[in-house]
């Protein structure tokens, strides 16, 4: 079997080196048996030019690859996937899988039983008051969190552009949406997502979250996203395993929190290639799992 490739973002200040934020991961990849390749993320995501992005990349033959780096649009990922395939390099996460976990609506149907109630409207309908009203109506007077298909404005603008105290208060709903759209600007992706707000521990403070990584439907590990989260301990292993088996991608991340009555919730699912590690030590088991994965059932575009 040929040596698999691990593709990382190049350091913009030194294109011959891996982006410093991923340097330790690159070493873990090498130790697990990967050949490390660098890519120009700006050329790929900003200009969607995979040929330019791969100009300095060196592959010593055909094989499989995994990307670990900064987020990119669906269009950029599709372009990267196709450019690599033209070189006989197959990314182990297909564009369909990337979209399923990178965009919030993609994974919700498969995982809804473990997640807060979620409703969304596409970007071409966000000017419609009727569409917005229909989206929030099922929540009654519950509190909501607002985001687009990828990001929220929870950090820094929680009260004015993310949290809606009462879904039935149309004035509050529309004010929050207007401020969110103002802040997102041209970077708004997909549409609007309304998610039921669940008070998580510790109530009144940033939630103690855990992040898991999942490879081929199996849990690699689940780690606290902050030192303070250690007080909770991780979610039950059997419960995590059931969720992992239903994630609609061969490489994904998943974030969890526990509410004040002790129930664990699946909060978010992300593409495993562009999700940050919760702790640096997670790199070793993650790349070991990626290296040992079966190559017999690689996804097709």
Read off the pLDDT of residues 8-45 as tens digits, 9 standing for 90 and up: 999 999 999 999 999 999 999 999 999 999 999 999 99
Look-up of token digits 């002790």: 262
Q: Where are the beta strands (DSSP E) in 191-259?
A: 191-196, 210-215, 218-224, 251-258
Backbone dihedral angles phi then psi of residue 143, each to the nearest 5 degrees:
-80, 150
- Summarize pLDDT for 250-261 with one digit per residue, the tens: 999 999 999 999
Distance (Å, whole) CA 48 – CA 78? 10
Which architecture, in CATH terms, is 203-290? Answer: 2-Layer Sandwich (3.30)
Return the CA Rg of the chain.
Answer: 20
Q: Which residues contact 293 (CB under 8 A, 6 or more apart)?
A: 92, 215, 216, 250
Distance (Å, whole) CA 38 – CA 10? 5
Q: What pLDDT shows up at residue 201? A: 96
Q: What pLDDT shows up at residue 1? A: 63
Name the stretches of the chain with pLDDT < 70: 1, 294-301
Q: What pLDDT shows up at residue 118? A: 98
Portions of the chain given CATH number 3.30.470.20: 203-290
* Domain covering 117-196 in this structure, CATH number: 3.30.1490
Portions of the chain given CATH number 3.30.1490: 117-196
């Amino acid at each position: 079997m040929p040596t698999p490739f691990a593709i990382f973002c190049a350091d913009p200040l030194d294109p011959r080196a891996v982006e410093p934020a991923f340097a330790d991961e690159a070493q873990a990849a090498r130790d697990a048996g990967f050949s490390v390749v660098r890519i120009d993320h700006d050329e790929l995501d900003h200009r969607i030019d995979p040929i330019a992005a791969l100009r300095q990349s060196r592959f010593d033959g055909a094989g499989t690859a995994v990307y670990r780096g900064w987020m990119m649009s669906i269009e950029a990922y599709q372009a990267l996937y196709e450019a690599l395939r033209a070189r006989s390099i197959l990314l182990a996460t297909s564009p369909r899988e990337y979209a399923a976990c990178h965009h919030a609506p993609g994974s919700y149907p498969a995982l809804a039983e473990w997640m807060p109630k979620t409703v969304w409207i596409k970007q071409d309908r966000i000017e419609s008051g009727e569409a917005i009203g229909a989206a929030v109506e099922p929540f009654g007077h519950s509190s909501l969190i607002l985001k687009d298909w990828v990001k929220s404005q929870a950090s820094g603008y929680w009260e004015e552009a993310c949290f809606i105290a009462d879904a039935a208060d149309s004035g509050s709903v529309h004010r929050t949406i207007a401020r969110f759209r103002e802040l997102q600007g041209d970077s708004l992706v997909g549409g609007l997502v309304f998610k039921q707000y669940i008070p998580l521990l510790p109530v009144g403070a940033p939630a103690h979250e855990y992040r898991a990584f999942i490879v081929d439907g199996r849990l690699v590990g689940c780690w606290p996203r902050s030192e303070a989260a250690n007080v909770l301990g991780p979610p039950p292993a059997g419960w995590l395993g059931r969720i992992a088996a239903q994630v609609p991608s061969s490489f994904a991340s998943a974030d969890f929190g526990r509410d004040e009555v002790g129930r664990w919730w699946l909060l978010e699912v992300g593409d495993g290639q562009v999700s940050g590690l919760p702790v640096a030590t997670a790199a070793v088991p993650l790349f070991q799992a990626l290296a040992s994965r079966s190559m017999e059932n690689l996804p097709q575009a």
